[in-house]
């Protein structure tokens, strides 16, 4: 398993995935990969379900039911422009542990080791087919995904206040981020993206970067015209390509070209081993292109498998930010 640490405010989440990364040209930021040209995803047009264990340990504050919050959060992704996802709530489950068992579990009382990082808010476990696909399967296919919330954290709904002495987090904010992992997305270097490892206390709507990413994994009808910005980032001294540079397109207009409630954000990608990048899902408009090292707040630790796979180790940070 590979850990992905995700910070919201001062709290920590961890995403876990059973997968193996291999070199692949960078795409709109940032899918996970099982093998070359095999981004992790559910089968196209599959009827997906999630299964809630309705039990809580008294750690939900506010008037909204957890099931309603989860439905809203899943629907945010399913309703993304240019995206086709068929997701619905399945039957409730009494399971209290993750597993590749055909139940895509959402759980607030489940067994998981939250002790390594006491402020961990949630864990997402994706089981990925890495080799030897059977009939109708493919390498990179997500077989099972479980989202486990920390029973020691109080999750807030409907703007509820955090009880004294408790560690709290906005449930819909955390759920929406974790569901991005459920669908196969990794972390984003775009600050205002839902999939960024650092986020405000409350950020419930997808950003343009999130939409660009999910629409590449699950393409649907093009309700919003988009294109691709591509190029190569090179070291000035040698001309060789920079692997693992974060490149993003920042729109000049006050909106990103995606309709409300999609938030206006840059759209990003990572450079591949030869320094090439392709920022897909970009609506028409004028953009400033920036290439930057992941040298905080987002760092190699937040996408640790990417550097090991694409760059032969950590992503390099021995270059300065450039804009065009």
Residue-by-residue DSSP string for 167-187: -EEEHHHHHHHHHHHHTTB--
CA 222/CA 244 separation, integer angstroms: 30
Tokens at 41, concatenated: 């995803």
pLDDT above 80: residue 93: yes
Query: What is the per-residue pLDDT for 34?
Result: 63
Which DSSP string do the residues of 36-80 spell out, in sequence order? TTEE-BPPTT-EEEEEE-----S-EESSS-HHHHHHHHHHHHHTS
| Structure-block tokens of residue 158 | 């409907």
Select the more confidently predicted residue: 184 or 296: 184
Q: How far is CA 100 from the centre of its chain?
A: 20
DSSP 277: E
Residue 15 confidence class, pLDDT cut points 50, 70, 90: very low
At a CB cut-off of 8 Å and minimum separation 6, what does 96 contact? 53, 107, 109, 110, 111
CB 29 within 8 A of CB 188: yes
Query: Quick count: other Cβ atoms within 10 Å of Cβ 250?
Result: 17
Residue 291 φ/ψ, nearest 5 degrees: -115, 130
pTM listed for this prediction: 0.89
Give the mean model confidence (pLDDT) for residues 274-297.
94
Confidence grade of residue 6 (pLDDT, cut at 50, 70, 90): very low
- For the stretch 129-165, pLDDT in tens is 988 777 889 988 999 999 999 999 999 999 899 999 9
Per-residue pLDDT band at 118 (split at 50, 70, 90): low
- Percentage of the chain with pLDDT > 90? 67
Angle between helices 208-217 and 171-182 (to 10 degrees): 30
Phi-psi sector, 306: left (phi>0), alpha (psi -120 to 50), beta: alpha
The angle subtended at Cα 83 by Cα 134 and Cα 181, nearest 5°, is 65
pLDDT at 68: 97
- Cα 221 to chain centroid, rounded: 22
pLDDT, position 18 = 31
CATH of domain 2-216: 3.40.390.10
pLDDT confidence band for 204 (50 / 70 / 90): very high
- What confidence score (pLDDT) does residue 189 get? 92
- CB-CB neighbours of 292 under 10 Å: 19
Please write the tens of the pLDDT for every residue from 219-254: 999 999 999 999 999 999 999 999 999 999 999 988
**Strand partners for 234:** 241
Of the two residues 8 and 266, the one the predictor is more confident about is: 266
Q: Which of 16-20, 89-93, 133-137, 274-278 has the lowest mean pLDDT?
A: 16-20
Q: Are 139 and 131 in contact (CB under 8 A)?
A: yes
Q: Please, are residues 48 and 88 in contact by the beta-carbon 8 Å criterion?
A: yes
Q: pLDDT value at position 318?
A: 92
What's the confidence (pLDDT) of residue 199?
66
Lowest mean pLDDT among 22-26, 114-118, 314-318: 22-26
Strands 267-270 and 168-170: unpaired
Average pLDDT, the chain: 86
What was the pLDDT predicted at 37? 63
Closest CA to 211 of 151, 277, 134, 279: 279
Residue 8 confidence (pLDDT) above 50: no
CATH architecture label of 223-323: Sandwich (2.60)
Confidence of residue 14 (pLDDT cuts 50, 70, 90): very low
Q: Please give the DSSP secondary-structure letter assigned to residue 46.
A: -
Domain with CATH 2.60.40 in the chain: 223-323
CATH 3.40.390.10 residue ranges of the chain are 2-216
Q: Residue 58 contacts by C-beta under 8 Å, 6 or more apart in sequence?
A: none
DSSP 107: E
Higher pLDDT, 1 or 139: 139
């Amino acid at each position: 398993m590979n850990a992905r640490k995700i910070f919201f405010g001062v709290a920590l989440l961890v995403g876990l995935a059973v997968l193996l990364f291999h070199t692949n040209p960078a795409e709109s930021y940032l899918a996970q990969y099982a093998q070359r040209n095999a981004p992790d995803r559910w089968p196209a047009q599959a009827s997906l379900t999630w299964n809630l264990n309705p039990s809580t340990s008294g750690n939900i504050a506010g008037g909204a039911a957890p099931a309603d919050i989860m439905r809203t959060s899943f629907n945010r992704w399913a309703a993304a422009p240019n995206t086709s996802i068929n997701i619905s709530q399945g039957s409730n489950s009494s399971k209290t542990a993750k597993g590749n068992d055909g139940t895509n579990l959402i759980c607030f009382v489940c067994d998981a080791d939250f002790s390594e990082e006491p402020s961990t808010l949630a864990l997402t476990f994706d089981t990925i087919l890495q080799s030897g696909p059977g009939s109708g399967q493919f390498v990179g296919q997500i077989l099972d995904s479980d989202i486990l919330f920390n029973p020691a954290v109080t999750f807030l709904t409907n703007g509820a206040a955090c009880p004294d002495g408790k560690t709290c987090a906005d449930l819909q904010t955390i759920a929406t981020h974790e569901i991005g992992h459920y669908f196969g997305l990794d972390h984003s270097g775009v600050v205002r993206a839902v999939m960024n490892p650092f986020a405000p206390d409350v950020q419930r709507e997808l950003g343009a970067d999130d939409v660009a990413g999910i629409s590449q994994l699950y393409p649907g009808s093009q309700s919003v015209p988009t294109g691709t910005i591509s190029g190569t980032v090179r070291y000035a001294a040698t001309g060789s390509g920079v692997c693992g540079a974060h490149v993003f397109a920042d729109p000049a207009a006050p909106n990103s070209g995606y309709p409300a409630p999609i938030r206006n954000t840059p759209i990003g990608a990572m450079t591949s081993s030869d320094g090439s990048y392709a920022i897909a899902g970009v609506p028409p408009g004028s953009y400033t292109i920036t290439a930057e090292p992941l040298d905080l707040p987002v760092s190699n630790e937040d996408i640790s498998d990417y550097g090991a796979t694409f760059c032969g180790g950590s992503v390099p940070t021995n270059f300065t930010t450039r804009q065009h």
